[in-house]
Amino acid sequence: MKFSKAVVRLPGEDFAQGITEADLGAPDYGTLLAQHASYVEGLRSLGVEVTVLEALPGFPDAYFVEDAAVIFAEAAVIARPGAQARRGEEDAIAPVLEQFRPLERIASPGTLDGGDVLMVERHFFIGLSGRTNLDGAQQLGRIVEKYGYTWTPVSVEGGPLHLKSSVSWLGEQRLLISPALAGCREFAAFEKVLCDPSEEYAANLIMVNGTVVMATGFPLTRAQIEALGLPVLALEASEPRKMDGGLSCMSLRF
Ligand code: CIR
């Protein structure tokens, strides 16, 4: 899967008012902006043309743009955030994505966060989580089926924030996955790289045009990935982490 474009959004000054369960101390805006800029540079260095949107005042989590939509070759699906406080982010991203793809939408009573959607070639794994309900997953499933894709729901209720907090595609038939999800029958056909429980945050990464973009500070996971012969671009992500966000969350890639 080759990505030529990505959309990101700058974090706003109010970002520390976002939703978080992490207990990692006070986030720093200057550091967050610097880490975000490195992320954009990192994507560009991998051949991706990045559209950088302005911050969205009143929506402190809006720079986690991945949650507001699901985008694939034929369409962009505007999500319906599971967290009330994030409702409205999807309306702000719609006119941007409309420039690139025909739009589809998740409607009430469905809820869906893009962080619950793991695309592996022509198949979508859709996490049922505290944010994505069955109705939202089924709506997305019906949309992607129209375009010839298949999908499977994966329950992560009571587990991580999003499905992709705990599982990432490493290309081919390989997943990086936290032990808690490794036994899921939905992933039975995959070769699994188990993420060490002490490095759970590292389970969220992205493959961009053959390179693994992961967070710095997770040597066990990095060594496992390098042992597969995959190139790694490691980026600082301490500040988004404080807000429960990972590297996938900060871009829509297509
Ligand atoms: C939230 O709780 O919604 C944000 N603070 C973090 C969202 C992270 N997004 C993602 O994992 N896709």
pLDDT digits (tens, 9 = 90+) for 156-198: 988 899 999 999 999 999 999 999 999 999 999 999 999 999 9
- Which ligand 1 atom sits nearest the alpha carbon of residue 115? 12
Catalytic residue among 36, 184, 195, 249: 249
Q: Answer whether 9's CB lies under 8 Å from 53's CB.
A: yes
For the Cβ of 22 lying below 6 angstroms from any atom of ligand 1, the answer is no
pLDDT confidence of residue 169:
98
Q: Which residues contact 133 (CB under 8 A, 6 or more apart)?
A: 82, 109, 110, 111, 112
Closest protein CA for atom 3 of ligand 1? 19
Best residue for ligand 1 mutational test, from 23, 242, 244, 251 (most atoms within 8 Å of Cβ): 244
pLDDT confidence of residue 85:
98
Q: Answer whether 137's CB lies under 8 Å from 153's CB.
A: yes
Q: Is 249 a catalytic residue?
A: yes
pLDDT confidence of residue 87:
98
- Which ligand 1 atom sits nearest the alpha carbon of residue 162? 11
Catalytic residue among 36, 162, 184, 195: 162
pLDDT confidence of residue 158:
85
Q: pLDDT truncated to tens, each residue of the chain (254 aa)?
A: 899 999 999 999 999 999 999 989 888 999 999 999 999 999 999 999 999 999 999 999 999 999 999 999 999 999 999 999 999 999 999 999 999 999 999 999 999 999 999 999 999 999 999 999 999 999 999 999 999 999 999 999 888 999 999 999 999 999 999 999 999 999 999 999 999 999 999 999 999 999 999 999 999 999 999 999 999 999 999 999 999 999 999 999 99
| Closest of 79, 63, 69 to residue 15, by C-alpha | 63
Q: Is 195 a catalytic residue?
A: no
In the sheet where 123-128 sits, what is the strand order?
A: 117-120, 123-128, 150-155
